[in-house]
Amino acid sequence: MEFTPTKPEKFSSPWYSKQGLLYFIAAGRPPVAIKIGVTQADGMKRRLKAIQSANHEPVELLGVIRFDSGEKPLLQAERTERELHKRFASSQRLIDLSVGYEWFTTSQELLDYIATHAAPPEDLGLPRLLTQTRDPLPDAPDEVSSLKET
């Protein structure tokens, strides 16, 4: 009898059965761009630290949508994320599916969506900010400003 490998069921990975968070992270003050992303619920603090570490602007966790029910909550979070990427595609900063494609130019429509649908991070015991900034942020040195003029 010949063995025929069976193709695993799509989305059968244990990853999808974990609790998920869809998050909205703003970069800059005031926010210039907002990242719409997904992570495991227990990994949100690590994710926020990684995004801040890779960003020269201060980042702020504006809100989160928790996915913790059903058979595959993280799969539901990913599907919702894709729907939001389509909904706000006109303000997507980079080409879809390229590095950084999850960043969107800040718009009132996106901020209103977050205010209506997402929970404040504090409601889930998550930090809003990881960094402290100078207020106001220092301007570029004069040498840099003069380079722009030439």
Report residue 92 CA to chain centroid gap. Answer: 13
Q: Is residue 9 part of a domain?
A: no
Where in the sequence is the domain holding 34, given as residue range(s)?
14-130
Please indicate, yes or no, if residue 80 is contained in any of the structural domains: yes
For residue 116, tell me if it sits in a domain.
yes
What is the domain count for the chain?
A: 1
112-138 pLDDT tens trace: 999 999 999 999 999 999 876 656 555
Entry pTM: 0.79
Task: Specify the CATH number for the domain of residue 35.
Answer: 3.40.1440
Q: Is residue 5 part of a domain?
A: no
In a domain, 60, yes or no: yes
Kindly provide the b/e burial profile for residues 27-64, where b requires at least 16 CB atoms within 10 angstroms of the residue's own CB: bbeebebbbbbbbbbeebeebbeebbeebebbbbbbbb
Q: Would you say residue 112 lies in a domain?
A: yes
**Per-residue pLDDT, 79:** 94
Write down the pLDDT at residue 136: 59
